[in-house]
Each structure stands twice: as structure tokens, then as C-alpha cells.
Amino acid sequence: MSSRVLITGGAGFIGSHLSERLLAEGNEVICIDNFFTGSRRNVEHLFDNPRFELMRHDVTFPLYVEVDQIYNLACPASPVHYQHDPVQTTKTSVVGAINMLGLAKRLRVPILQASTSEVYGDPAVHPQTEDYWGNVNPIGTRSCYDEGKRAAETLFFDYRRQHDLSIKVIRIFNTYGPRMHPNDGRVVSNFIVQALRGEPITIYGDGSQTRSFCFVDDLVDGMVRLMNTDHSVTGPINVGNPGEFTMLELANAVLEITGSTSTIEHRALPQDDPKQRQPNIDLARRELGWEPTIALRAGLERTVEYFRGVLETDVAERVR
């Protein structure tokens, strides 16, 4: 049976792919976005679909719509963007969560929170399991995002305990793919854009720090599976690719795929940058029957192809 689904941050990188997936399954999608990091270009190919609706709206203000499910994705997710206006970032996570939880409570519908591996901070436990409480600096430059997401999780579970609301909390690990913002400062988009432009690839630190990279289609599949679980399943559930790669390994893979002659340039590590990040996904396997299927190289090839097209289009528009 089709549902009417609200996606906050729906014109963003992940939200646009989620919109596609839900529409393909026959659902109606109301996509809201304030376009701080999202873009109409990410969803313009959906405008002709009569089951898709796009609204400009900021989740820090209440919203009154009638829906069957809510995916709360609204929040800038890269340091470049969430540190641009840290107070607004915290408000988006906290006030936005309050507004969307209030809507879910009024409608008595399930709501999924797009949380993050950043709730683990610079982890002292490796790989990270859902019962690890994290190692987070509450007053650092990344705290607006890290602590904002932690507070949002608190609100979700308090609404569950106090109102028996059907909540789903997913902790998203590094995700990449087409429609990433080219200037978001995240490592995959950074490396690819720099390589395609022939600029030096910037690695912070010595490049030995690790991340685990999940292709966006795999992530969206995990989100949809979690949303459609029984009322008793709340999460938090880690969703990410447990394959661990150093920054140097990622840079070399990007250089090989792009055929770039870019050099590698080392810079100082930013404050509170985690040295390791790898999900334990045993819970996702058990509760959702989920694990990633797209290998890093295959995902990178699709992402490089997307960014090549974006850069070529930008050049053509400047020439015009």
C-alpha cells in the first residue's frame, strides 16, 4: 500500500535519493528544504511526477501537513556548512526535531531521525557499536553538529517514553555518491573535485586516519528498511559500510579512477577530527536484514562520472 511521506531536507544529497526510491515504490513524497545545502537541481528530474511535491520550508518553524511517515533529514552535514552558522545548525537539529516530533505525535505516524556517526565523536572504542556512548567535545567547533544530533536522539527517545511515539533512529556513517555538494568539504567530494581539476589533493594529517564509505543507494535501502520495521524497533542502528580505508588509500583510488596527475598535499588536522571511524553493523544485519552491496571502487566510479558531468556543465555555463 502506498504512503504519503514527508522528507525534511529532501532536496539534499541523501534526501533526493530517498525521494527517488520512495516514488519508485509508488508513494507520494512531500519534500521540504530551505536550500541552504540542498538544491532544486537535485530533484528537478522529479518535478513531472504527480506524486512529488517540493516546498521551501525551514524545520525550525512548525509545519502542518497530513502524512503517513516522516523522514527527518534536515541539517547541514559537512563541517564547512554546519560551522558556517553553528547556532542555526544546533537549532536545526534540536528545534527541528521538536517540530517534526510534534507533527508525528499529532498524526500518530512513525518518524525516522537521520542521526550520525558523529555522536561517537573521536571514538575510544573501535569499531563503534550502538551501545557506545561516545567521546565528544561539547564545546568545540564541531559541537554544534555532534551535540545537536545527540540532543535530537534524546528528544526522540523521550517522545517514545512519554508518548509511545513510533520512532526510528539511524546513525549514518560516511556516505558518498552522485549529488554530493561539490564544495561541502567532505573527503570523497573534495578528492574527486580536486583530482578532476588537476589540483593538489589535500590530506589532513599524515593520511593514516580511517573512514568507512557507504554508497548512497545502500544507505537509502537501510533507511527504508528501518522505517518499515515493527513499532518495537527503535534503533539507534548503525548503517554504514564496515570496510575501512585510510585517507591515503582513498586518495590513490580516486587518482587511479580519474586518471589525474594531481599531487598529494598534507595539511594540519582540524580540531576534534576523528582518527578512526568504522561501524559495527551486526544490529542492522539482525534487525533489518541489511548490509552494503556496493564496493568502494564501483561507487567511486559512479560518483566520479557524476562530478565530471557537473564540472563540464559549470565550464560550459561560464563560457556562455
The DSSP bridge pattern shows strands 210-212 and 244-246 to be antiparallel
Q: What is the DSSP letter of 166?
A: -
145 has catalytic annotation: yes
Which residue(s) pair with 245 in the sheet? 211
| Residues written for the chain | 320
Task: Measure the CA–CA gap between 21 and 227, rounded to whole angstroms.
Answer: 13
Task: Measure the CA–CA gap between 240 and 237, rounded to whole angstroms.
Answer: 10
- The set of cell numbers assigned to 264 is 598529494
Task: Measure the CA–CA gap between 197 and 31, rounded to whole angstroms.
Answer: 33
**Terminal Cα distance for the chain, rounded:** 48
Buried b (16+ CB within 10 A) or exposed e, 100-112: bbebbeebebbbb
- Type of residue numbered 58: D
Helix axes 216-227, 13-24, angle to 10 degrees: 60
Helix (H, G, I), strand (E, B) or coil at 34: coil
Q: Which helix (H) or strand (E) holds 316?
A: helix 296-319
Catalytic: which of 145, 159, 176, 204? 145
Helices and strands counted in the chain (H then E): 10, 13
Residues involved in catalysis = 145
